[in-house]
Chain A
Amino acid sequence: MKLYFREKVKPFMKKPHFGFLVVGLLLVVLRLLVNVLPPDIYGAIVTTAYYYLAGLGFALLLGYGGLASLGTGAFVGIGAFSLHFVFRYLAMPLTVAILAGIILAILVSIAFGFVSLRISGMYLAIVTMGLSQIVIEVIRNIPQYASGTTGGFLSGPMARPLEFLGMRLNSNSAVLFTAVFVVAGMMIVHNLIHSSTGRALLSIKNSDTAAQTMGINLLKYRLFAFVISGVYGTMAGILSMLFVRNGNVSQIGITFALNILAAVVIGGTKSVWGIMLGTFVIFGLDLAVFQRFGLGNYSLIINGVLIILVVMFYPGGLIQLFGDLKRFINKQILKVKEHIYGTE
């Protein structure tokens, strides 16, 4: 009733968490529209959604940890390929496969984290690029993936249909999974940013000596940032495998990591919505618009130019641009109003 709405719902709507729920609901609605939308647009939206998850994790690492790690691709690969391997070749149930992927991700991110302690700022990007290359090579060396691709889930003599809690999953159910994980992912990152953990990360980024003076354990928080980023990336990989049903090693290399970097930088490293905007611009537009019209190369050029322009002139990203634009437009509207109606 009206009272309940006023008392409980209205305050909740003011919180940013409400926005996150709306996003989740939109994705669920998307699932219902699967037969209405053209398949490549549908696919583009879902792909953007789970790439957004990888971008969120990366943004936490970059924007709050100050650690430019190019390892995102490796983690997506770990998620996708370990899920596939454990499910298909080790014949474990789906939940076990997902857990295996997450545990592996945690271990590898801890390794990345330890490496990051010895290597500072600039070189970190290079070393993580190298580490991610190693991960990709390791995946390639597993005999089943020597060709660099996985087979589809539902093809081949060893195939097993996907089941979760007894229910049969098809590719489109992956959208529901995605919705759940995207909403949870957004909430967790938002909560972390607005908590002492997020502030501790920021203080390490600004000055690790001052942070230590205030009692912040560098190792612990570095590892934390890497683990979160790694798990998010792995979830993206798992979701991609659930949706696309096959994987290609070449898709998760340096180019992917650079694209995620582009998405985060262009959208706005510090804002959950900014990253969504960035992911949409980089991946969504590319998949839904450019690829359709065979303009893939143009999209690459535009992305690259955007990165350079944003990073040089608008470090806050497009979301900052939108904010400034909004203020500018409001100001202009006020000016016009004043012109017509005078000041009284």
Chain B
Amino acid sequence: MEQNKKINHLMTYKHGLNVNKHRRTTLLVNYYKGLADELEKEIKTSYEQSKKLIEELYLENIKIYQMQLDGFTINDRTREVKIQKYDQKQYWARRKFKTSTRRKVDENALDAALNLYDESQKVKRDDFIKSLEDKYPHKNLTENESKIVHQKIEGYDKKKNDQLSKKTQKYEMRLKKLESFKLKNQKRILEKELLNQKLSQEIDLYNQQVLIDDQALLVNFETKLETLTKQNGSKKQIEKIQKKIDRIHTILHTIEHPDVHLSIHNLKMYFGGIKAVNDLSFDVKKGEIFGLIGPNGAGKTTVFNCITQFYKATGGDAIFRNKEENIVDLYERKTHDIINEGIARSFQNVELIWELTVLDNLLVAAHSLLITNYAEHMIHSKRMQREEAVLRTKGMQILVDLGIAEYAFRSPYGLPYGILKKIELARTLMTNPTLIILDEPAAGLNDAETADLAKVIQSINQKFGITIFLVEHDMGLVMSICDTVCAISFGKKIGIGTPKEIQQNPEVRAAYLGDDSDE
């Protein structure tokens, strides 16, 4: 029955490649756009550093000669060095004396002993200095010596100027090269953007064609269904056709309603005989905070796992409007591709990497944004280092926004649970997702921490417009921040609506909230 489909498997495969290429090209363009400024900064800082080093080296070199011109000749220097050494030794000897005397006598006698010691030392020191002055008397520079010193200084001056001019030349050349690189870079950017445009067109064409095909298929399937039911066809066949029809309906529904972000229809997850999720349907609207509540074992985490493709659902559809505003059937995606569509998730059990620092944990989360591959990682290419620097800055910024920047450079091991949860949250933000799934974010948090979390979630939602889909037991949190709440029990939906409506829904109250008061 699918002969009318214009899209075949080859085209779908090509489309997949196009989408990946488009995403990668976008990342590359972003990299290129920042590249020119990075390079300029690099050149400038390197130049400044070189100049500083040259200056330092120069001053070091002429210090001795300058001192001589100021009247501080070799002998004076020698004397000074020897006195320093002597004083240094005396300092430690005095401390030793003080500590050992302190053990033998009390405080008053200590002061007296120290005074005695200091006085005898003073005499010794004066004698020592005098002997030095005899041995290394001060001698003014002769004419000749003075001339030599001047020459030496001039020599160093010249050297410094040579080095500076070389560096400046190099700097100017690099700047010039940078200019021509900038031009090439611009060209590169334009090329890639053109490529992206072309890819976008092809992607759009594909999507349109899929839509047309689906609509045609829908008609086909519905006629087939009619004939089958009339002829009392096998139940299995009817179910199959019905499933296909449902899927297309869900897709069309999502297309026709631009405010629908995620559409779940008749989701079923059966583990053998256990129906963990049974015919669950709901829509998550763009930009809203959507809460899923239900007693333990109701199947909430299972729903998440079906959406993020950890489980292949037994039945039903999950249609998503991804970050490029295209409609995708999540079941056609592999688990590690979900994040590329714009969905990030956190876990009930904190799954951080204890062996890395907090900031490094965030870097892992940005894995899907990498443009370098393992070959560049093996040699630590410049591109990899720049990319990492950019990602570190981004991660740092997110940590600052969440107020946990002080933990950036330590391992998450041993941090309080509330902080760990925030780090998990920070992780989800690294890829600029359009939908964040939070699995019991307030689990294990006290009231104050939960209130803080609520504020953070709301600010993320309002500042970045990210849709939040959360599962939670803490009714205070759910009812205070959620725009829509869906209640499930034993895998089935028992109510959906605003928090107020849910609170007043008698079935929900009976199953979950308790028949008395709200929370």
Question: Is there a direct interface between A and B, measured as CB atoms under 8 Å apart in the complex?
Answer: yes
Please, how many angstroms separate the alpha-carbon atoms of A198 and B364 in the complex? 10
Most B C-beta atoms less than 10 A away, residue of A211, A218, A341? A341
Q: Mark B316-348, 1 if CB is under 8 A from A, else 0.
A: 000000000000000000011111100011010
A200 within 8 A of B: yes
Q: Which residue of A lies closest to B391 (CB)?
A: A196
Q: Which of B268-312 contact A (CB under 8 A)?
A: 308, 310
Please, how many angstroms separate the alpha-carbon atoms of A218 and B337 in the complex? 11
Please, how many angstroms separate the alpha-carbon atoms of A74 and B80 in the complex? 69
Shortest distance from the beta carbon of B338 to any chain A beta carbon, whole Å: 7
Shortest distance from the beta carbon of A230 to any chain B beta carbon, whole Å: 15
Please, how many angstroms separate the alpha-carbon atoms of A176 and B365 in the complex? 42
Shortest distance from the beta carbon of A185 to any chain B beta carbon, whole Å: 11
| Residue contact A202 to B355, C-beta cutoff 8 Å | yes
Selected from A6, A215, A342, the residue in CB contact (under 8 A) with B95 is A342
Most B C-beta atoms less than 10 A away, residue of A188, A211, A212? A212
Q: Are A214 and B368 also in contact (CB < 8 A) when A196-B377, A342-B98 are?
A: yes
Shortest distance from the beta carbon of A195 to any chain B beta carbon, whole Å: 4
| Residue contact A214 to B364, C-beta cutoff 8 Å | yes
Selected from B50, B339, B384, the residue in CB contact (under 8 A) with A213 is B339
| Residue contact B380 to A196, C-beta cutoff 8 Å | no
Q: Which residue of A lies closest to B427 (CB)?
A: A214
B119 within 8 A of A: no
B43 within 8 A of A: no
Give the size of the chain A interface in residues (CB under 8 angstroms). 35
A-B contact count (CB 8 A): 108
Residues of chain B within 8 A (CB-CB) of A198 are 377
| Residue contact A195 to B377, C-beta cutoff 8 Å | yes
A3 within 8 A of B: yes
A192 within 8 A of B: yes
| Residue contact B344 to A199, C-beta cutoff 8 Å | no
Shortest distance from the beta carbon of A224 to any chain B beta carbon, whole Å: 6
Residues of chain A within 8 A (CB-CB) of B176 are none
Q: Are A7 and B53 also in contact (CB < 8 A) when A213-B338, A340-B99 are?
A: yes
Please, how many angstroms separate the alpha-carbon atoms of A311 and B49 in the complex? 47
Residues of chain B within 8 A (CB-CB) of A213 are 308, 335-336, 338-339, 344-345, 347
* Interface size grouping (class) on chain B: 35 or more
Q: Are A214 and B374 also in contact (CB < 8 A) when A195-B384, A196-B388 are?
A: no
Q: Are A2 and B379 also in contact (CB < 8 A) when A7-B50, A215-B367, A342-B95 are?
A: no
Shortest distance from the beta carbon of B171 to any chain A beta carbon, whole Å: 14
| Residue contact B95 to A196, C-beta cutoff 8 Å | no
| Residue contact B377 to A197, C-beta cutoff 8 Å | yes
Q: Are A342 and B99 also in contact (CB < 8 A) when A7-B53, A214-B427, A218-B336 are?
A: yes
Residues of chain A within 8 A (CB-CB) of B92 are 341
Selected from B102, B356, B365, B377, the residue in CB contact (under 8 A) with A214 is B365
Q: Are A188 and B378 also in contact (CB < 8 A) when A195-B384, A341-B92 are?
A: yes
Q: Which of A312-340 contact B (CB under 8 A)?
A: 339-340
Residues of chain A within 8 A (CB-CB) of B95 are 341-342, 344
Q: Are A216 and B374 also in contact (CB < 8 A) when A2-B57, A6-B53, A342-B98 are?
A: no
Q: Mark A174-213, 1 if CB is under 8 A from B, else 0.
A: 0000000000000010011011111110110011011111
Selected from A194, A197, A206, the residue in CB contact (under 8 A) with B353 is A206
B54 within 8 A of A: yes
The binding surface of chain B is classed by DSSP as helix
A141 within 8 A of B: no
Q: Which of A85-124 contact B (CB under 8 A)?
A: none
Please, how many angstroms separate the alpha-carbon atoms of A245 and B380 in the complex? 36
Residues of chain A within 8 A (CB-CB) of B344 are 213
B410 within 8 A of A: no
Shortest distance from the beta carbon of B16 to any chain A beta carbon, whole Å: 14
B351 within 8 A of A: yes
Please, how many angstroms separate the alpha-carbon atoms of A214 and B433 in the complex? 11
Residues of chain A within 8 A (CB-CB) of B308 are 213
A217 within 8 A of B: yes
Q: Mark B415-453, 1 if CB is under 8 A from A, else 0.
A: 000000000000100010000000000000000000000
| Residue contact B360 to A199, C-beta cutoff 8 Å | yes
B113 within 8 A of A: no
Q: Are A3 and B347 also in contact (CB < 8 A) when A197-B374, A212-B336, A342-B95 are?
A: no
| Residue contact B388 to A202, C-beta cutoff 8 Å | no
Most B C-beta atoms less than 10 A away, residue of A3, A191, A197, A213? A213
Most A C-beta atoms less than 10 A away, residue of B99, B102, B345? B99
Selected from A199, A270, A341, the residue in CB contact (under 8 A) with B364 is A199
Selected from A7, A196, A339, the residue in CB contact (under 8 A) with B370 is A196
Can you show 21 pairs from A to B with CB atoms below 8 A apart? A3-B54, A3-B57, A3-B163, A6-B53, A191-B378, A195-B377, A196-B377, A196-B388, A197-B374, A197-B378, A198-B377, A200-B364, A200-B367, A202-B355, A214-B365, A214-B367, A215-B336, A341-B92, A342-B96, A342-B99, A342-B102
User: A residues within 8 Å of B by Cβ?
Assistant: 2-3, 6-7, 188, 191-192, 194-200, 202-203, 206-207, 209-218, 224, 270, 339-342, 344
Known contacts A209-B351, A210-B351, A217-B336; 11 additional CB pairs below 8 A are: A191-B379, A199-B360, A199-B364, A200-B364, A212-B310, A213-B347, A215-B337, A216-B336, A341-B99, A342-B95, A342-B102
